[in-house]
Amino acid sequence: YSKAVLYLEKAESIYDEFSLPEDESYINLLNSLAANYFFLGLHDKSDEYFKKGIEKIGSSNSVLSLNFLNSFAIVLGNGGKVNNGEDLIVGSLEKARRFYGPESRDYIEVLKNYAEYLRTYNIDLKKSLRLYEQCISYLNTHEDDFTLKEPVLLGYALALSENGEQSRGLELIQKLLFADISGRCSIHGD
């Protein structure tokens, strides 16, 4: 992480030195700096970069902006500010719904992030399951979306297990693991 911070700070200095536009790549840079500082245990520096990123995002609805908000929510949750993190994710979900629409992949990805947040911080497992099921409904009509399928199904399996439905969660993991052997991964066991 320290080596990454070194190079990321160099990149930030290039933005400053040449007055480069503070676009989506810059927001991604701030996200990376904030996350790396967090993992180094330098929480004040991490907060500084997350706050800077929040200011730069403004009304942006880009995927990178939504990802930035998710990263910040996780850092808040890990720092014991679980409710603040949830508020941030709920706000980004509303942004995604308004800008991309509730049937869009981008909205579903933020919905998955919210379900994961609820599960990870043990806020509301029942709601987490419902949100994962909405994501699965999307996946049932977008079977080729492999980059979203795995985290949704894994998160759903974990939520099932944490909700006392270990056998259903294990069955889902087995189907996910052996999807290539059978040719497809039937999500609901149909």
**Spatial contact of 165 and 133, defined as CB atoms under 8 Å apart:** no
Each residue's pLDDT tens digit, 13-70: 999 999 999 988 999 999 999 999 999 999 999 999 999 999 988 888 899 999 999 9
Does the structure show a pLDDT above 50 at 183?
A: no
At residue 181, the pLDDT reads 55
Look at residue 85 and tell me whether its pLDDT is greater than 90: yes
Residue 180 predicted with pLDDT over 70: no
Q: Does the pLDDT at position 84 exceed 90?
A: yes
Question: Averaged over 162-178, what is the pLDDT?
Answer: 90
pLDDT tens digits for range 66-79: 999 999 999 999 98
Supply 26's token pair. Answer: 């810059």
For residue 184, give both structure tokens.
């497809």
Separation CA 54–CA 69 (nearest Å): 8
Reply yes or no on whether the pLDDT at 187 is more than 60.
no
**CA distances (Å), 99 to each of 59, 138, 157, in order?**
11, 18, 30
Considering the entire predicted model, what is its pTM?
A: 0.85
Give the pLDDT confidence score for residue 67 in this predicted structure.
93
Question: CB count, 10 Å around CB of 28?
Answer: 16
CB 156 within 8 A of CB 133: yes
Share of the chain above pLDDT 90, in %: 80
pLDDT for 177 equals 84
Read off the DSSP letter of residue 12: H
Give residue 60's pLDDT. Answer: 85
pLDDT band, very low/low/confident/very high, at 148 (cuts 50, 70, 90): very high
- Alpha-carbon gap, residue 159 to 44, rounded angstroms: 32
Give the pLDDT confidence of 105-132 residue by residue, as tens digits: 999 999 999 999 999 999 999 999 999 9
H helices present in 21-145, as ranges: 24-39, 43-57, 63-78, 82-100, 105-120, 125-140
Q: How confident is the model at residue 189 (pLDDT cuts 50, 70, 90)?
A: very low
Mean pLDDT, the chain, whole residue set: 91
- DSSP codes of every residue in 116-157: HHHHHTTS-HHHHHHHHHHHHHHHHT-TT-HHHHHHHHHHHH
